[in-house]
């Protein structure tokens, strides 16, 4: 960022310069989020930073927003391919996101937006930009969307390297019985959980709670709610930082949606609410409303939009082949698009009262890319407000046996079909963005379909 373009430096940039000069920081990580939700980027040496090497941002190859999980360069992406020569875009630091990382020595991290060097416009398929556009649309409608993330993960006895040496066999969790709210079992991995709570909070990612979850070795953290872009920033940094903290301290950890078919899946619940233009008053409750639980028209239509489009936007909620294996009956992961008051069997759970009344979306998994998932759900909610989509009647009872309602896709290929025919997705994101993420989903499905898995051999080698 040049001072000519930004004559007044952001206070956090000024603070970073001071920390570099007095030796508190010697490394700056400039990071952006790829399609898979991973942080990628560069490390900048402190003196080079002071000398202005990223005044105009950091260059990165366009292919980072057009790869699969293995960093291959598949065909089908119009914005980046061998014919375009895989040039550069710019990671432009967003100084308000600056954090000092207590788990890395004298290191700070700043998130970036991705821009075209010639036009200075943001790249439309960049996950953070996709969410920013929905935030801007909400603002144009007079709303601020606030959200908080719950993330579940498994602590593992083996490191990732040991898992690799073992051929990625079923991992052994750090525990051997259900530890949901169980303090004694949770204590066994408390050295890791304590680091996550305290070091994340020190890095401006305020963790409010951690607790054992409904499986051996499974845990959950609750990150304090804020405006939705800030919450997405916190979520992607938390996932990345948790992996770094675990690795540096000899632990294994995974946010995979379903590490084994016999395990409870790991969720990434979203707690969402709509506020007035300056973010001072929630618009979710209307004391004069005759609707259940005093839900306002804004709340009903926002939830109605999310419910109406959950199937169509599933690729952005559950992005991987494995994501869909988490959607299983009686598993604590929902399958049916129904809502209920404080009902954990429904896909949407209405909780809280007064200014705390909000919607919990229980469909996303721990493997979500928070920018994409929030962008899809904010976009769907605003679409619901625009089209005045009323949600169906509350479902009371066991939501797993609900009938006459949408069901989340059973597999990624089904989600692809839903997105292919979704006019609402194009309205929300634009055809270019939808095409880009459809191609990514097809690449992922094709890679899975082409591999012979251990299940295939167990089932067919002798008896087929």
Give the model's confidence band at 4: pLDDT under 50 very low, under 70 low, under 90 confident, else very high. Answer: very low
Over the stretch 134-160, which tens digit does the pLDDT of each residue have?
Answer: 999 999 999 999 999 999 999 999 889
CATH number, domain 11-123: 3.10.20.70
> Cα separation of 358 and 142, whole Å?
18
Over the stretch 220-265, which tens digit does the pLDDT of each residue have?
Answer: 999 999 999 999 999 999 999 999 999 999 999 999 999 999 999 9
Over the stretch 174-183, which tens digit does the pLDDT of each residue have?
Answer: 888 888 888 9
Q: Do domains 11-123 and 134-457 have the same CATH topology?
A: no
**Rg over CA atoms, the chain:** 22
29, 107 Cβ separation under 8 angstroms: yes
Among the ranges given (36-40, 106-110, 165-169, 386-390), the one the predictor scored with the smallest mean pLDDT: 165-169
Report the share of the chain in percent with pLDDT over 90: 84
Of 192, 451, 458, nearest in space to 322 by CA: 451
CA 314 to chain centre: 13
pLDDT (0 to 100) of residue 7:
58
Coil, helix or strand at residue 237: helix
Over the stretch 266-319, which tens digit does the pLDDT of each residue have?
Answer: 999 999 999 999 999 999 999 999 899 999 999 999 999 999 999 999 999 999
Q: What is the pTM of this model?
A: 0.95
337, 408 Cβ separation under 8 angstroms: yes
pLDDT (0 to 100) of residue 83:
78
Considering the segment(s) 134-457 as one domain, its CATH architecture is 2-Layer Sandwich (3.30)
The domain limits of the chain are 11-123, 134-457
pLDDT (0 to 100) of residue 2:
41
User: Mean pLDDT throughout 35-53?
Assistant: 95
Range list of H helices, 366-451: 370-386, 412-420, 423-429, 431-449
> Cα separation of 144 and 280, whole Å?
9
Give Cβ neighbours of residue 166 (< 8 Å, ≥ 6 apart): 158
303 token code pair: 């939830």
CB atoms within 10 A of CB 100: 17
181, 195 Cβ separation under 8 angstroms: no
Give Cβ neighbours of residue 207 (< 8 Å, ≥ 6 apart): 196, 197, 200, 201, 221, 222, 223, 224, 238
> Cα separation of 375 and 386, whole Å?
16
> Cα separation of 383 and 308, whole Å?
10
Average pLDDT, the chain: 94
Q: What is the DSSP string of 99-152?
A: EEETTSTTEEEEEEEEE-TTT-PBPTT-HHHHHHHHHHHHHHTT-EEEEEEEEE
> Cα separation of 208 and 201, whole Å?
9
**How many helices and strands in the chain, by DSSP H and E?**
14, 15
Q: Which residue has the higher pLDDT, 118 or 359?
A: 359
| pLDDT above 70: residue 1 | no
User: Mean pLDDT throughout 59-82?
Assistant: 88
């Amino acid at each position: 960022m040049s001072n000519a373009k930004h004559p007044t430096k952001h206070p956090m940039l000024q603070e970073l310069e001071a920390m570099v000069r007095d030796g508190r920081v010697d490394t700056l990580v400039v990071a952006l989020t790829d399609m898979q939700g991973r942080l990628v980027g560069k490390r900048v040496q402190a003196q080079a930073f002071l000398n202005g090497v990223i005044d105009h941002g950091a260059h990165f190859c366009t292919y980072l927003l057009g790869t699969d999980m293995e960093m291959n360069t598949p065909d089908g992406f119009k914005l980046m391919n061998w014919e375009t020569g895989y040039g550069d875009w710019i990671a432009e630091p967003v100084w308000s996101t600056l954090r000092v990382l207590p788990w890395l020595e004298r290191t700070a991290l700043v998130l970036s937006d991705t821009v075209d060097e010639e036009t200075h416009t943001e790249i439309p398929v960049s996950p953070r930009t996709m969410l920013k556009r929905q935030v801007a649309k909400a603002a144009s409608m007079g709303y601020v969307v606030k959200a908080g993330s719950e993330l579940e993960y498994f602590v593992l006895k083996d490191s990732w390297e040991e898992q690799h040496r073992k051929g990625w066999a079923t991992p052994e969790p750090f525990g051997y019985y259900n530890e949901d709210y169980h303090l004694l079992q949770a204590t066994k991995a408390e050295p890791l959980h304590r680091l996550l709570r305290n070091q994340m909070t020190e890095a401006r990612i305020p963790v409010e709670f951690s607790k054992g979850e409904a499986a051996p070795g499974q845990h959950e953290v609750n990150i304090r709610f804020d405006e939705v872009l800030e919450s997405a920033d916190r979520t992607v940094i938390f996932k990345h930082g948790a992996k770094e903290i675990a690795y540096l301290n000899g632990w294994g950890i995974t946010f995979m949606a379903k590490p084994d078919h016999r395990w409870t899946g790991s969720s990434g619940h979203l707690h969402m609410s709509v506020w007035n233009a300056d973010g001072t008053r929630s618009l979710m409750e209307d004391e004069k409303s005759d609707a259940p639980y005093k839900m306002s028209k804004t709340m009903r239509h926002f939830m109605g939009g999310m419910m109406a489009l959950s199937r169509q936007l599933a690729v952005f909620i559950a992005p991987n082949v494995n994501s869909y294996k988490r959607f299983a009956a009686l598993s604590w992961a929902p399958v049916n698009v129904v809502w209920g008051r404080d009902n954990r069997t429904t896909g949407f759970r209405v909780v809280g009262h007064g200014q705390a009344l909000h919607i919990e979306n229980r469909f996303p998994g721990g493997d979500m890319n928070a920018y994409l998932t929030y962008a899809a759900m904010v976009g769907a909610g605003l679409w619901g407000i625009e089209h005045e989509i009323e949600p169906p009647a509350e479902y009371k009872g066991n939501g797993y046996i609900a009938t006459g309602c949408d069901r989340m896709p059973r597999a990624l290929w089904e989600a692809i079909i839903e997105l292919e025919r979704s006019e609402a997705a194009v309205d929300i994101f634009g055809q270019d963005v939808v095409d880009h993420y459809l191609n990514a989903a097809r690449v992922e499905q094709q890679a899975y379909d082409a591999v012979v898995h251990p299940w295939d051999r167990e089932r067919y080698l002798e008896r087929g």
